Amino acid sequence: MALKYRSIRGTRDILPGQSEKWRYVERVALETAATYGIRQIRIPTIEKTELFTRSVGETTDVVQKEMYTFEKGRESITLRPEGTAGTVRAVLENSMLADTLPLKLSYIVSCFRHDNPQAGRYREFTQFGIECFGNSLPTADAEVIGVAYDILSRLGLSDVSLEINSIGCPKCRPSYNQALKAYYENRTDKLCKTCLERLERNPLRLLDCKEEGCQALAAQAPKSTDYLCEECDDHFEGLKKRLDAMGFVYRVNPFIVRGLDYYTKTVFEFISDKIGAQATVCGGGRYDGLVEELGGPHTPALGFGMGLDRILLVMENSGCQFPAPPICDLYIGSMGEEENIKALTLATHLRREGFTVLCDTVGRSVKAQMRYADKQSSAHSCIIGSNELGQGKATVKRMADGNQTEVALTAEAMSQYLYAEKAEEIAEA
Instruction: Per residue of the chain (429 residues), give pLDDT as tens.
Output: 788 999 999 999 999 999 999 999 999 999 999 999 999 999 999 999 999 998 888 777 788 889 999 998 899 999 999 999 999 999 999 999 998 999 999 999 999 999 887 777 899 999 999 999 999 999 999 999 999 999 999 999 988 999 999 999 999 999 999 999 999 988 988 888 888 888 888 888 888 887 888 888 888 999 999 999 999 999 999 999 999 999 999 999 988 888 677 889 999 999 988 776 558 899 999 999 999 999 999 999 999 999 999 999 999 999 999 998 888 999 999 999 999 999 999 999 999 999 999 999 999 999 999 999 999 999 999 999 999 999 999 999 999 999 999 999 999 999 999 999 988 877 776
In whole angstroms, give the CA distance from residue 329 to residue 356: 5
Orientation of helix 308-317 relative to helix 19-34, angle to 10°: 110
Q: Are 41 and 115 contained in the same domain?
A: yes
Identify the pLDDT of residue 278.
55
Identify the pLDDT of residue 276.
64
What DSSP designation does 249 have? -
Does residue 98 form part of some domain? yes
Q: Are 234 and 361 contained in the same domain?
A: no
Cβ contacts of 281-286, under 8 Å, gap ≥ 24: 281/152, 281/157, 281/160, 281/306, 281/307, 281/310, 281/311, 281/314, 282/148, 282/152, 282/306, 282/307, 282/311, 283/258, 284/129, 284/144, 284/148, 284/258, 285/167, 285/258, 286/141
In whole angstroms, give the CA distance from residue 242 to residue 158: 20
Work out how many domains the chain is built from and give that number. Answer: 2
128: left (phi over 0), alpha (psi -120 to 50) or beta: beta
What DSSP designation does 132 have? E
Q: What is the CATH number of the domain that holds 65?
A: 3.30.930.10
Identify the pLDDT of residue 270.
96
Q: Are 412 and 369 contained in the same domain?
A: yes
Identify the pLDDT of residue 429.
61
- Check the CA dihedral 413-414-417-423 and report its sign: negative
Identify the pLDDT of residue 210.
78
Closest residue by Cα to residue 369 from 335, 328, 403: 335
Closest residue by Cα to residue 127 from 277, 281, 14: 281
Helix (H) or strand (E) holding 343: helix 337-352
Closest residue by Cα to residue 279 from 81, 120, 110, 117: 120
Residue 236 main-chain phi, psi, to 5 deg? -65, -40
Q: Are 302 and 343 contained in the same domain?
A: no
Closest residue by Cα to residue 280 from 255, 251, 250, 314: 314
Identify the pLDDT of residue 259.
67
Longest dimension (CA), the chain: 94
**Enclosing domain of residue 166:** 19-172+228-317
Q: Are 147 and 268 contained in the same domain?
A: yes
In whole angstroms, give the CA distance from residue 269 to residue 387: 66
Domain final residue, candidates 317, 349, 373 = 317
